[in-house]
Structure 1
Amino acid sequence: MNDGYDSYRAIDLDTQVSCASPYQLVLVLFDGLLDELSRARGHIETRHYDLKGQSLEKCMNIINALNSTLDHEQGGELVISLSRLYDYCLHRLVEVSASLSISGIDEVMHLLEQIREGWEGVNVARS
């Protein structure tokens, strides 16, 4: 039943990525990250802990990817602060995995939504 939807999402993602600027790619990553965090939250609520683990692992991989693309040589204090924030989000997700804390996921989602808004502003300014 979900196979059709998953196939559609994969095609849609392929289309977005193939046409995206570097700034738009970051937004695509953030959108995927926020969607997966929402799924992880739902898995905790429905006590599907094996799926929660898979979702949180995906989230941590995306955050690590975002963190690894930061330009530490050119970015200055902003990049250092952003890297620290990504590290904090990773730490919180590890805690969430053990504690099953919905408020922990909500906190991480709120922080990442704010960062995403900032990237969206950069993307609009560059357009």
Structure 2
Amino acid sequence: MFNNDNPLIAYRQNAGAARIAAASPQQLVVILLEHLLDELDYIENYIATMQLNHKGDSISKCLEILHVLDASLDTQNGGELAENLHQLYDFCSRRLLTVNLRNQPEPLAEVRRVIIPLKEGWEGTT
């Protein structure tokens, strides 16, 4: 589970696991959104350096994060807010698929314009 070859990596993994274990549901959403934003940066770099296999891995991680966020919505009781979040997650997923197909980073900016305000909103609830 942890990489003991590099003490810095092992420390970061342990610190990350501890942060997740102690997080409230709201904080977990923030952590997921932070990871999503990090992966967007990686995708942009992978496209620029033509590391397309890594780009695909990062896009898969982003899609998985968006799926987890979407699956966590309370569609029974969440009303319009849950529906709006579902639509935003779907939009982001479609834009990421466009990035994957075209190897063009421009749609990543659109995803960031959606995710950054969401993350800031969730940070205000923690």
How does the TM-score come out when normalised to structure 1? 0.89
- The AA in structure 1 aligned to 2:86 is S
Segments of 5+ residues of structure 1 without an aligned counterpart are none
Q: Which runs of 4+ in 1 moved over 2 A?
A: 2-9
Whichever structure has more helix as a proportion of its residues is 1
User: How do 1:1-127 residues align onto structure 2 when only pairs under 5 Å count?
Assistant: 3-123=6-126
Number of positions where the alignment pairs a residue of Structure 1 with one of Structure 2: 122
- The AA in structure 2 aligned to 1:111 is V
How does the TM-score come out when normalised to structure 2? 0.90
Question: Percentage identity across aligned positions?
Answer: 36
Helix, strand or coil: the match of 1:71? Answer: coil
Segments of 5+ residues of structure 2 without an aligned counterpart are none
Q: Give, in angstroms, the shift of residue 9 of structure 1.
A: 2.8
Q: Give, in angstroms, the shift of residue 110 of structure 1.
A: 2.0
CA RMSD of aligned residues (A): 1.5
For 2:63 and 2:9, how far apart are their aligned partners in 1? Answer: 21
